[in-house]
Structure 1
Amino acid sequence: MTTQNHENTPVIPLPEAGARLTLAVGALATLASTFLSWTYTTDFPGDLTVTGYPGGLQVLTLAGAILTLIYALAGHGIRGFRWLNPAGNNTPLLLMALGTFATTWFTVIAIAIELGGLVNLDPGGFIAAAASLITLLAALALPLPRDTDPTTTPVKRATTPLFGTAHGRLKQPATLNSWAEIGIIIAVFALGLWIAAYGIQTPYGELFVGYLIITGFAFGAIARAGLTTRLQALTTKHRQVTIGAAFAAAAAFPFTQNTDEFTLLAVSILIFATVALGLNVVVGLAGLLDLGYVAFLGVGAYTAALVSGTTASTFHVTFPFWAAVLTGAAASLIFGVLIGAPTLRLRGDYLAIVTLGFGEIFRIAMGNLDGTSGPNITNGPNGIPNIPDLKILGFDFGATHNILGFTLGSYANYFWLMLICTALVVTIFARAGNSRIGRAWVAIREDETAATAMGINGFRVKLIAFALGATLAGLAGTIQAHVQHTVVPEMYVFAGPVPPSSAFLLAAVILGGMGTITGPLLGATLLYVIPTKLQFLNDYQLLFFGIALVLLMRFRPEGIVANKRQQLEYHETDQLAVPEGATLPEGTVGVSKAGA
């Protein structure tokens, strides 16, 4: 614990001061080690043989060491750094030291395994491993927030997960003028764009794993410091600026890429995220477990392909883009009503089984409409190939364009189109969720019997949710058909090695946070990027992926971006526990000791 002198300056006890000094020296040594050679051969990806210039995984260790030093300075109370740690505890410092240690030792172990032993390490690698270990041990020696004894104090805060929110009341930030706050918001989104672009274009799996490690711990440190709460207050205050900055940062992504390879990956992520947000209407708001949702994406894609003017279409018609979008969304809406009307009277597992059957029936039916097993509509297993690029108001989406001196390929055009589509879906979700029908969905999700007793027509409300979710998926499917230039039944399965699939869509909603907007978008991004980047794991890919999901569900079952109601439900034991007869402070939430 720190004390204060007569000048109100923090006074750090001697043991803690020694630990902080050791930590600072260790972090500086870790930082300096990234400018040394870690291995003498270039066989390891990233070329870690250069002295004086960090490369590959060394850059991630360098970033971790810098952030560790920043939080060490914030812990000393140095003006200008205290803003980054509103909670005023040492947990963010420990998390950054742990993240730097994990990234560094992962690199050292990867070098030893891939190159055949520790003899392949240069002195810089040993120095980095030792320095990061010393930094971590010094961080462990620092005092951390501890719970008080409920028998001696009227209020006790139970232990929360390491990656949860900050303890206690956040320190009031220094007053900033509006322009400074707007500048902070813009800087945060610019930094987020750079971090996201760096992660997407990582050229090899080892670098991506290190990226996941350091960014995961950095996010945990920021959350535990209370900085996310402070930034959320700024974005709420300047909502219009936040929306504009977020859209501008996303739109600038193609300018950060040199090739179309990762731009195509970003387009696929947007399609997957948009469909996941549509499923969030069904699962997150209305509480309906739909295991065949990817079929509605297929309905929209097949409809757009059939009216695209491709020579493989049996309809031989060419619709303009706006008409193709409306046709695909309408077809998905009709299928949603036709499937939902007879099945939504079921609940729970029975509804899940029926929707799973619908998904499989759609895939099999598309494979059988080949003129042999059924009418010749979809060309059966061969699908509908050669779907032409879109042309809107004379703008050819398949052509290369020069914008602001940058040469952008066709996938950049589709990225911007899909970004507009995603923004539209986000707007629809937000408006629907905050409307009267949205509150009815939440009521049905929480307790359908009680909601029905209060006068809500459960069947009609659920059917609206099912139809809206299907429409949003069909909307994304119309663009997917033109991006992929082909549509085949195997693209719409329940579970597959690569999303989109119904299982991955459902996992994205649950992982990101049901009932939220940013949750499914973030969950879909992670679930699409991780399998794509971890292909080097081959047969072990799904094993590590499953372990990560289990750990996340154990420590944060409400998802990465938590809905406040569900966060309270999943962490009932983390609320304020109060002994019998004690009085809670005004505005707090708690349970009695007997009830706990």
Structure 2
Amino acid sequence: MTTQNPLVPLPAPIARIATLAGAAAALAGTFLPWTWTSEFPGDLTVTGYPGGLQVLTLTGAVLTLLFTLTGYGIPGLRWLIPGGTNSPVRLLALAVLGTTGYAMGAISYELGGVVNLEPGAWVSGIGALVAVIASLALPSDVALPAEGPEPTGWQRFRNSLAAPSAPRARALPGWAEILVIAGAFGLALYLFTYGIDIPTEDSEQFIGFLITAVLAFTALTRAGLIARITALTSKHRNVTLTAALVAAFCFPFTQNTAEYALIGANILIFATVALGLNVVVGLAGLLDLGYVAFLGVGAYTAALVSGAPLSAIGVQFPFWAAVLTGAVVSLIFGVLIGAPTLRLRGDYLAIVTLGFGEIFRVTVNNLNGNSGPDLTNGSQGIPSIPDLNLFGIDFGLTHELGPFTLSRPANYYLLMLVVTAVVVLVFRRSGDSRIGRAWVAIREDETAATAMGINAFRLKLLAFALGATLAGLAGTVQAHVNYTVTPEQYQFAGSVPPNSAFLLAAVILGGMGTLSGPFVGAALLYLIPAKLQFMQDYQLFLFGIALVLLMRFRPEGLVADRRKQLEFHETDQLDVPKPRKPDETDAGIAKAGA
């Protein structure tokens, strides 16, 4: 048991009190003005009413106080730190310092010097700095209590001052576990809504939001709280899926403008296509670098049969028929591309799929009536795709639903949510089936899987065809959401997702082979560029840095299954046997035993 950290020579009780004092000061500073002018985004001039970046500092300070108090064994807070470590306190204090320091630097840069900082900024900044320094003196390891009666009252408080502990939480009843899952998804919806509602021109607040969110998530992971919630979601999978769909359904009703509902619809399209790619890459282990072409096949097919004025076919299918047509055509292309190429492995397969993606883009660009048949209108694409009309509902119009108003993007968001639910059902059922287990076996070792009687080629072709079908399904909705389809939308890499590089990154970032991982990765990769448009010229550079950091610190992805965690963080090597002492011969050991 460690009571003093050698990094900062300060006794643990004093360090904990100093951490509380610093976090309290940072909290109090948010109720004071940080600057004198409202020109800085967020209006940080009001006394007694935090706004903008002050809200993020306040949130981080409250979490720091909460997790610091858990070290004193307060009964109501024991559930927060099942990991029994002080690392969450350090990370949360660092989040407060990072957000506050960034706010002070941004105010000084944009308004012309530190003279524009009011006392509230200094109080929060100094308090956050004190909390970080004091948290470094907290014990590195916190011992969990041994089995037996738990101390109560003054004895527990006195013991916690000397060596803070995190008592093991008792098992919750079933109804409480369901409430925790519902609360977790409700909180996730609130955080997502808060981030997406930040105005695009207010990039300072969004950067502060990212700083707080990343460090707070890391703190909750180190505390073991994320693992505990993950265990609950694994235990109640049907409840988890229902809660996720309900939270996603509620999103458009939280939006007052069409801009952010459109971002939500595009995120769902991006995430659904990424989930289809997860079948190919995450389950079957096939590196597909041209997957966005299947999205384009579905989108172009839907555009051609939508009744658009510039459609070369000149027909108009009902939406259900257009969806089936787009999915079937994508399936056919998946089989035609996969049949001659899936006997390749590794880099060779990646090169072939990359070539298919580029061939698709060049082909639709040349089908303009000059270089080839007049089918896709070349580089101009197929514009003016009409809005859908389902069950008498015109998706191009706004609709009143009680006190809520659903805009055009909100209508398509809800439609895409239905498509997403279908894709999730297909992914879950296929992943848990005998075929899904065979895909995983092929991913881990194709030679061994073949030796065990698995028809690797047939199952890989099935995965390729299924992934193409799911991408084509999403493409049919994308064509109507964007009004037009053009070849430039379906590149290998570009500044605007979805493209093949970003789709693959969403799967890797979120977690290969998982259900929720592609959604997390797609949301991050789409939302961050949409909010930080001033960094568009450096987007790919920053994107590469983020991937390098991810591969270094969390190679299994943000949402990882147990198999990936064991693969990247545990070794299969056996312990090296200790050498025997000179008198430890077999005969001597037998004699001693006798």
| TM-score, structure 2 normalization | 0.89
Within the candidate set 205, 228, 234, 1:207 is matched to 205
How far has the Cα of 1:14 moved from its partner? 9.1
Say whether 1:435 aligns with 2:433.
yes
For residues 431 and 565 of structure 1, the distance between their equivalents in structure 2, rounded to whole angstroms, comes to: 19
How far has the Cα of 1:216 moved from its partner? 1.1
Aligned to 1:295: 293
Aligned to 2:188: 192
For the 8 Å contact 1:170–1:226, the answer to whether it is kept is: no
How far has the Cα of 1:475 moved from its partner? 0.2
Q: 2:549 is matched by which residue type in structure 1?
A: L
Within the candidate set 143, 164, 184, 2:139 is matched to 143
How far has the Cα of 1:580 moved from its partner? 2.3
For the 8 Å contact 1:381–1:488, the answer to whether it is kept is: yes
For residues 172 and 462 of structure 2, the distance between their equivalents in structure 1, rounded to whole angstroms, comes to: 45
For the 8 Å contact 1:19–1:138, the answer to whether it is kept is: yes
Specify the SS of the correspondent of 1:376.
Answer: coil
Say whether 1:390 aligns with 2:388.
yes
Aligned to 2:583: none
How far has the Cα of 1:391 moved from its partner? 1.1
Within the candidate set 233, 236, 251, 1:235 is matched to 233
Within the candidate set 11, 17, 24, 1:15 is matched to 11
Aligned to 1:372: 370
Aligned to 1:537: 535
Aligned to 1:337: 335
For residues 540 and 470 of structure 1, the distance between their equivalents in structure 2, rounded to whole angstroms, comes to: 31
For residues 433 and 173 of structure 2, the distance between their equivalents in structure 1, rounded to whole angstroms, comes to: 34
Within the candidate set 23, 26, 32, 2:28 is matched to 32
Say whether 1:95 aligns with 2:107.
no
Aligned to 2:146: none
Aligned to 1:79: 75
For residues 434 and 172 of structure 1, the distance between their equivalents in structure 2, rounded to whole angstroms, comes to: 33
Within the candidate set 465, 472, 475, 1:474 is matched to 472
Specify the SS of the correspondent of 2:32.
Answer: coil
For residues 116 and 578 of structure 1, the distance between their equivalents in structure 2, rounded to whole angstroms, comes to: 61
Which residues of 2 match residues 113-512 of structure 1 at below 5 A?
Answer: 113-145=109-141, 172-203=168-199, 204-512=202-510
Cα displacement string for residues 217-276 of structure 1 (whole angstroms, at most 9, x for unaligned residues): 111111111112322333344433322222111100011111010000000000000000
How far has the Cα of 1:538 moved from its partner? 3.8
Aligned to 2:553: 555
Aligned to 2:103: 107
Aligned to 1:571: 569
Cα displacement string for residues 398-424 of structure 1 (whole angstroms, at most 9, x for unaligned residues): 111111311111111111111111111
Specify the SS of the correspondent of 1:319.
Answer: coil
Unaligned runs of 5+ in 2: 4-8, 144-164, 580-594
Cα displacement string for residues 84-114 of structure 1 (whole angstroms, at most 9, x for unaligned residues): 1122221111111111111111111122222
For residues 378 and 182 of structure 2, the distance between their equivalents in structure 1, rounded to whole angstroms, comes to: 50
Cα displacement string for residues 134-185 of structure 1 (whole angstroms, at most 9, x for unaligned residues): 00011111011399xxxxxxxxxxxxxxxxxxxxx99542344433333222
How far has the Cα of 1:45 moved from its partner? 1.5
For residues 286 and 175 of structure 1, the distance between their equivalents in structure 2, rounded to whole angstroms, comes to: 37
Structure of larger gyration radius? 2
Cα displacement string for residues 289-327 of structure 1 (whole angstroms, at most 9, x for unaligned residues): 111100000000000000001111111111011100000
For the 8 Å contact 1:272–1:505, the answer to whether it is kept is: yes
Specify the SS of the correspondent of 1:402.
Answer: strand
Describe the shift of the 1:20–1:577 C-alpha distance in structure 2 as closer, same or farther (beyond 3 A): farther
For residues 523 and 196 of structure 2, the distance between their equivalents in structure 1, rounded to whole angstroms, comes to: 10
Of the structure 1 ranges 104-113 and 460-469, higher mean CA displacement relative to structure 2 is found in: 104-113
For the 8 Å contact 2:273–2:503, the answer to whether it is kept is: yes
Unaligned runs of 5+ in 1: 4-12, 148-168, 583-596
For residues 576 and 451 of structure 1, the distance between their equivalents in structure 2, rounded to whole angstroms, comes to: 23
Q: 2:523 is matched by which residue type in structure 1?
A: T
Q: 2:84 is matched by which residue type in structure 1?
A: G
Aligned to 1:580: 577
Of the structure 1 ranges 257-266 and 443-452, higher mean CA displacement relative to structure 2 is found in: 443-452
Describe the shift of the 1:357–1:278 C-alpha distance in structure 2 as closer, same or farther (beyond 3 A): same
For residues 559 and 104 of structure 2, the distance between their equivalents in structure 1, rounded to whole angstroms, comes to: 33
How far has the Cα of 1:533 moved from its partner? 1.2
- May I ask how many residue pairs the two structures share in their alignment? 551
For the 8 Å contact 1:495–1:502, the answer to whether it is kept is: yes
Q: 2:127 is matched by which residue type in structure 1?
A: A
Describe the shift of the 1:238–1:338 C-alpha distance in structure 2 as closer, same or farther (beyond 3 A): closer
Aligned to 2:42: 46
Describe the shift of the 1:191–1:476 C-alpha distance in structure 2 as closer, same or farther (beyond 3 A): same
Describe the shift of the 1:257–1:529 C-alpha distance in structure 2 as closer, same or farther (beyond 3 A): same
For the 8 Å contact 1:37–1:122, the answer to whether it is kept is: yes
Q: 1:122 is matched by which residue type in structure 2?
A: E
For the 8 Å contact 2:509–2:557, the answer to whether it is kept is: yes
For residues 215 and 426 of structure 2, the distance between their equivalents in structure 1, rounded to whole angstroms, comes to: 33
Q: 2:60 is matched by which residue type in structure 1?
A: G
For the 8 Å contact 1:276–1:508, the answer to whether it is kept is: yes
Q: 1:102 is matched by which residue type in structure 2?
A: G
For residues 567 and 10 of structure 2, the distance between their equivalents in structure 1, rounded to whole angstroms, comes to: 42
For the 8 Å contact 2:529–2:536, the answer to whether it is kept is: no
For the 8 Å contact 2:270–2:497, the answer to whether it is kept is: yes
For residues 387 and 171 of structure 1, the distance between their equivalents in structure 2, rounded to whole angstroms, comes to: 60
For the 8 Å contact 2:64–2:93, the answer to whether it is kept is: yes
Specify the SS of the correspondent of 1:407.
Answer: strand
Describe the shift of the 1:469–1:237 C-alpha distance in structure 2 as closer, same or farther (beyond 3 A): closer
What fraction of aligned residue pairs are identical, expressed as a percent? 65
Cα displacement string for residues 419-453 of structure 1 (whole angstroms, at most 9, x for unaligned residues): 11111111111111111111111111111112112
Q: 2:468 is matched by which residue type in structure 1?
A: A
Specify the SS of the correspondent of 1:487.
Answer: coil
For the 8 Å contact 1:534–1:541, the answer to whether it is kept is: no
Q: 1:336 is matched by which residue type in structure 2?
A: G
For residues 538 and 382 of structure 2, the distance between their equivalents in structure 1, rounded to whole angstroms, comes to: 34
For residues 462 and 237 of structure 1, the distance between their equivalents in structure 2, rounded to whole angstroms, comes to: 30
Specify the SS of the correspondent of 1:366.
Answer: helix
Specify the SS of the correspondent of 1:246.
Answer: helix
Within the candidate set 64, 67, 77, 1:68 is matched to 64
RMSD over equivalenced CA pairs, Å: 2.0
Specify the SS of the correspondent of 1:292.
Answer: coil
How far has the Cα of 1:196 moved from its partner? 0.7
For residues 10 and 36 of structure 2, the distance between their equivalents in structure 1, rounded to whole angstroms, comes to: 42
For the 8 Å contact 2:73–2:167, the answer to whether it is kept is: no
